[in-house]
Every structure is written in C-alpha cells, then in structure tokens.
Amino acid sequence: MFTKILIANRGEIACRVIVTARKMGIKTVAVYSDADKDARHVMLADEAVNIGPAPSRDSYLQGDKIIAACKKTGAQALHPGYGFLSENAAFAKKVEEEGIVFIGPKHYSMAAMGDKIESKKLAGAAGVNCIPGVNSAIETAENAVEIAQEIGYPVMIKASAGGGGKGLRVAYNDKEAFEGYTSCRNEARNSFGDDRVFVEKYVEEPRHIEIQLIGDSLGNVVYLNERECSLQRRHQKVLEEAPSSFISEATRKAMGEQAVALAKAVNYQSAGTVEFVVGKDQSFYFLEMNTRLQVEHPVTECITGLDLVELMIRVAAGEKLPLTQAEVKRDGWAIECRINAEDPFRSFLPSTGRLVRFQPPEQTMFAADTDHWYGVRVDTGVQDGGEIPMFYDSMIGKLIVHGKDRLDAIAKMREALNGFVIRGISSNIPFQAALLAHPKFVSGDFNTGFIAENYSGGFRAEDVPHEDPDLLIALAAYVNRKYLNRASNITGQMEGHELEVGVEFVVVTLGQLGRCTPTPVAVTGFDDQTGCSAIMVGTRSFQICSDFRLGEVRISGNCNGRAFTAQVERGSLAGKNPLAIRVSHNGTQIDALVLSKRAAELYTLMPYKAPPDMSRYVLSPMPGLLVDVAVVPGQKVQAGERVAVIEAMKMENVLFATADGVVAKVLAARGESLSVDQAIVEFV
C-alpha cells in the first residue's frame, strides 16, 4: 500500500480523497493555484505545493507541474479526482512512465473509453446499441450544420473530451447548430485542452441512467447498481438518486452486464461509469463511459455500503476486489443535491465572492465512513469565510441523504436543505427545494427534459408555493417577539416608561413594486425559559417552541407538535427593508415587517420609490471576466444581436441586445473583471 499520494485536483473532490487516505493511514499532498492558497483542501492535506496562477490552464491543467510536485514530495501515487486532467490519457501515461501510480484506469483503457468518439466505435463493435450520429471530429461549423440536417433535428453537439455539461449544446435548427458548434469548441478548449466536437441525434424525452462499476488488475469487474441522473439543467446534473425508480430488475441486470462486458473488453481497472440514455419503454443506448470517479458517487456509496475512493486506491495498489457481483448490496434510497454558487432567480448565473456564512445542516453520515448510514452527509471544499473564485466550477458542495425508501429520502433532503445556511453569495438551494416538492418528481414521473419543460420561463419565487404560508407569518411574529422580549428586559429604562410588549400585531409581507399584504396576528404566552409561544394567525393557532437565539440564522423546533427547520434573519441581509424579518422554509421566502396596528396603517401610506430605469444599459448579470465586446460607439444594434461575452466558472455567457438601438458608450474594456450589474454598454 502507498504511504503518500498526491491529489491532482481542488475543492470538494480533493477533500473527499484526503479523508479516505487519512482513514487508510496514507499521507496526502495537495496542489493549489494562487487563487486557492487558503482553500480547505490545502489545509486538510499533510503537504501542499503551488502549481501556478489562478486560471486552470496555468495550474490544474499543467501536467508537468503536477508530476514535478509528485517527485518533489515523494508521492508514490496520484489521484486525479474528476474534471481537469482526470480523463486525459496522455497525462495518465506520462504519470505511469515517471514511475508514479495513477489511481484510475490504465491509459490505454482511458484512451479507448474516455474519448467519446472512440468509445462509441468500440461500443458499436461490441454489439452495444448506439445513438445515430457522426462519430468523427467535425472541422467547421458549416460542416456541423450539414451533418445535423442529414441526421435530422434536434441534434446534440458534444465535445469529445467534454463533461459536467461543458462543451455540450442541443440544436433545433441551423442557427443553433452553427453557434453551438463554436461555443462547444471554445468551452472544450478552455476546460479540457481538446476542441474536437462531434454530432449525434438527440433522443427526446430520455432518461439518463448510469451504471457504476469497479474493476481490478486481475480481470474482475462488478457493477454497483445504477444512478438516476435525469434531473439536468442545460445538460448538467442537478440532483441524482440511487437506485432508479424507473427501471425494472431485468433492465438493471441487462444494463449492468453490458457495462461490465464493455469494461472487460478494454481491460478496465478502477472505478468507472457507463452512461445510458433510456427510453420510456426501457430500451437503452450507450452514451459514453466516464473513466473516473463521478461527482454523484456518494449515492452509490450509501446504498452499497462501500467507500469507492478506498476501492480505487486498493485496486491501484494491485489488490483484488473484496466482493463479488452476488455480494453487491442495494440498501435503502439515496439522493444527492449539488449545491452550486449560482442565482436561480437570475437565470442561474454564476455567483462568486466570499462566503459570509457557511453552515451546513447537522451531519450524521460522513465521507469515507462506512459505519453510519440513513442520515445526512455534506461533501464540500469550502468553509465559513472562504472565497468562491470565478475561475473554477460553481459547485459549493454536495448534500447527500440516505433514507429507508424514496419518500423518506425526499423528506430528509427537504429538511436538510432548510437547514443549509449560505450567505454572501447566491445558491441554488431554493431551486432544489422546488424540485423536491414538485408532484411529478415525487411520483417519479420525469425525464431529462423535466426542468426545461417545467421552468421554461426561468425560475421565480412564485414557482415554490408553500404548503402553509401562515407558518411563515407565525415564524416572523415569533422571532419579532423574541427581539421585543430582549428589549423589554434591558436594564436602566426610565421608570414609568419601560417598554411594554403588547399582544396584537400586524405582519406586513413585502411584495414587488411596493405592494404589501397585512395579516393580523396575536402573540400570547411567550415563555423565554422554554422558548414557547402561542401565535394566532387569523383564526389559526400555532404553538411554536424553539431554543433559537437572536443573531442565529437557522431556527429549529416544534410547531404544533411537528419538528421544523427554517431560516430567519433581520437587518441588512434581509434584503428589501433593513427592518424586515426574512423567513425561508421549503424554498419559499418572505420579507415581513411585524408592526403595531397603528404603525401598519401608517406604513401603507408610505410612498413607493421606484428603482432607476436601467433599460438603456447592458449590465453584467454576474461577476466575471469580460472576454469580448462586439459593438463600438455609434453602431446600430438590433434586438437579439450579440453585444458582449462574459466568462465565469469555465462557462461562456453571451449577452444580447434586448431592443434596437444605437451604442452611445462602451463603459467596460475587454479583459476587465466585472461585478454584478456593472454597466458594459450604454445606448442612446
């Protein structure tokens, strides 16, 4: 067994590998860019080596620097994680040639199966059903359009080295095929250093189901059940679960055996995933093989009771697989939500900056721990006060739950999301909450088009209707009563003028464009010792008990005998009004003022101050790097015309003109780092 390994990655996956290595008594070496010098994976590792500037092409994609770090620190093996160089066969080969063990498949297996074009040819030769398409690299955008016309729209344009939603577009017409080809090549070149692109038929209403497998150096390969990965936004997975509620035992067995046969054909060693597109009649077609550990591997760990990272390390050290196919378990139900630094209410644009608060829900399961199941686990590479840089992937962490069955897992995940506190940047937690509450998801009636179909106009706050809006009002009144109780107990108050706390209040819920909704409430029987209070919202009674302390964000306790977790805060973080109390629960958020009856009457008379008109400007919708400005002063621009391109978190975001106009000024220069809502172009 190795005594020291280097992790050629960053963030959550680097931390994940370090935890397993520590359990096995193996020393670890982290590598980091200038932007990651204070990152969590650097602090967790036994040693750390700087490998270059912030952009990944100058650091995490520099194979020679990583190999040099191995030699410098005496690391006998290298774990590539996922992304970056994890599926680069030339890098894996060079690592092996330098006498370092690559904790992953052999380079020849990776070359055969990691390349999407070559793997499809191999799969076809092995008799595996493949989707119609052209399996060779396409040289020009015009050629891509011709091929798309031959296959018939819609088509999928994919980068050969792509992954994680990068370098992938679906085109429904010639214009989308032309533009999609160019964007795919650019993204693939920047993210993977390989700009080859191919085209295949896009199967509509498909399910994305993948088989996890593991192979050793002795020729043994077993499959570890399947993962349902159909909930995707722009072809990037959002939520995964294991097992799938859709396929039958017969289909599961057929897919698993086909995946194993494919792996054995290329002498596959280590963890890998064979991805299939599955039709509604359970017919399945080979998509690709990921020759690495997957982001969603924890759900497989939950239902099988295995540590996949440990198995990868042991197989790389020459050990035999410790289990046979008959010994693979399928126990309970697991769900993983990817918690991303993006604003779901602003078209999921990246959100970068400092994590002012980062408080995950209480964990009862942990990475690399195979003794504790049926609980909550958080895999992350960040910590309170850490920075989310613009140079890398948007994932903050992964929230994983393990339940006795699917409904139990859904309930656990909803409660865990309620307790996940992230401040300073936006996250997709409200969107995840909406998905988990959607009736079609709960019933298992969905496919890869689910998000596009149900949120075609984007995601809005009203897309998350709360099952009990009065509970949110009651929580606002409860928290306000806590503040009043503290104020009434302050010593030194003038005799005869002490603060007297009343019973009758009005909760004014703040809406758009100055609209507000008043709700009368009564707060009685408040006991500061027990934290219990009776609250009447209209004719409904809420008995709330909690040990919540002022200044905390997470509030948990019992309401009418049922446990709950929510988030509350007052002050500048509460958004629209610094005196408001913001309450968040099950993905729904309200901003509310808790006032006396007279104050509520006066508040309705307050004039509404409209925000300034910014329609003449093109604003940066996110923090990022301005890589291109396509207009100049005096230029006439039509609606839909390209204006600027912003790069953030390895994704290109094109900004288009929303109306016809003439450019008055260009306010930002190419290469400039932009902040949210910074003006780029002004129109006359």
What the chain holds in terms of domains, given with CATH numbers, is: 4-103 (3.40.50.20), 132-201 (3.30.1490.20), 207-452 (3.30.470.20), 469-488+501-603 (3.30.700.30), 617-683 (2.40.50.100)
φ/ψ of 280, rounded to 5, equals: -70, -15
Answer yes or no: are the C-beta atoms of 477 and 566 closer than 8 Å.
no
How confident is the model at residue 634, as a pLDDT? 95
Q: Annotated catalytic residue: which of 87, 228, 288, 336?
A: 288
**Phi, psi of 522, deg, nearest 5:** -130, 130
pLDDT for 586: 94
Q: Where are the beta strands (DSSP E) in 528-561?
A: 532-537, 540-546, 554-559
Helices (H), 24-140: 40-44, 63-73, 89-97, 107-113, 116-125
> First-to-last CA distance in the chain?
69
* DSSP string across 578-621: TT-EEEEETTEEEEEEEE-HHHHHHHTTSPP-PPP--TTEEE-S
The yes-or-no verdict on residue 116 having pLDDT over 90 is no
| The pLDDT of residue 498 | 80
Summarised one tens digit per residue, pLDDT across range 456-482 is 888 987 777 889 999 999 999 999 999
Can you state the percent helix, strand and coil of the chain, rounding each to 5?
A: 30, 30, 40
Residue written as tokens 């010593």?
491
Give all strands (DSSP E) within 172-290, no chain letters.
Answer: 197-201, 207-215, 221-233, 236-242, 270-278, 284-290
Closest-CA residue to 260 (of 121, 126, 154, 106): 126
What pLDDT, on a 0 to 100 scale, did the predictor assign at position 575? Answer: 56
- Return mean pLDDT, the chain: 92
Using the structure block, give the residue that is written with the tokens 């890869």.
448
Confidence of residue 204 (pLDDT cuts 50, 70, 90): confident
Q: Report whether the peptide linkage leading into residue 607 is cis, meaning its omega lies within 30 degrees of zero.
A: no
Angle, helices 249-265 vs 116-125, to 10°: value is 110
Instruction: Compute the residue count for the chain.
Output: 684
pLDDT of residue 513: 75
| Nearest-angstrom CA–CA distance, 435 and 430 | 9
DSSP code at position 677: T
Per-residue pLDDT reduced to its tens digit, 265-323: 999 999 999 999 998 888 898 989 999 999 999 999 999 999 999 999 999 999 999 99
236-242 vs 333-340, strand pairing mode: antiparallel
Average pLDDT over residues 158-178: 86
77-86, 88-97, 608-617: least confidently modelled range: 608-617
What amino acid occupies position 460? R
pLDDT at 678 over 90: yes
pLDDT of residue 164: 66
378 and 338 Cβ atoms separated by less than 8 Å: no
- Measured distance CA(233)–CA(446) in Å, rounded: 13
Between CA 92 and CA 88 the distance in angstroms is 6
Phi, psi dihedral angles at 326 (to 5 degrees): -65, -20
Q: Is 288 a catalytic residue?
A: yes
Residue 212 confidence (pLDDT) above 80: yes
Tell me how far apart the alpha carbons of residues 455 and 123 are, in angstroms, rounded to a whole number: 35
The structure tokens 């088509």 sit at: 155
Mind giving me the DSSP string for 63-82? HHHHHHHHHHHT-SEEE--S
Residues 6+ apart with CB under 8 A from 645: 626, 627, 628, 630, 652, 653, 654, 655
Crossing angle of the two packed helices 406-418 and 429-437, in degrees rounded to 10:
150
The residue among 191 and 523 whose pLDDT is bigger is 523
pLDDT of residue 610: 82
Contacts of 405 (CB under 8 A, 6+ apart): 332, 333
**What is the C-alpha separation between 412 and 402, in angstroms, rounded?**
8
The closest alpha carbon to 519, from 507, 503, 502, belongs to: 507
Q: What DSSP character marks residue 362?
A: P
* 3 state DSSP class of 225: strand
Contact 391, 7 (CB under 8 A): no
Element (H, E) at 471: helix 469-488
Q: How far apart are CA 10 and CA 61, in angstroms?
A: 12
Q: Is the pLDDT of residue 26 over 80?
A: yes
In Å, how far from its chain's centre is CA 445? 22
Q: Please state the rounded mean pLDDT for residues 12-16.
A: 97
User: What does the pLDDT look like over 537-583, one tens digit per residue?
Assistant: 989 999 999 999 998 999 999 999 999 999 999 875 545 678 899 99
DSSP string covering 612-645, please? P--TTEEE-SSSEEEEEE---TT-EE-TT-EEEE
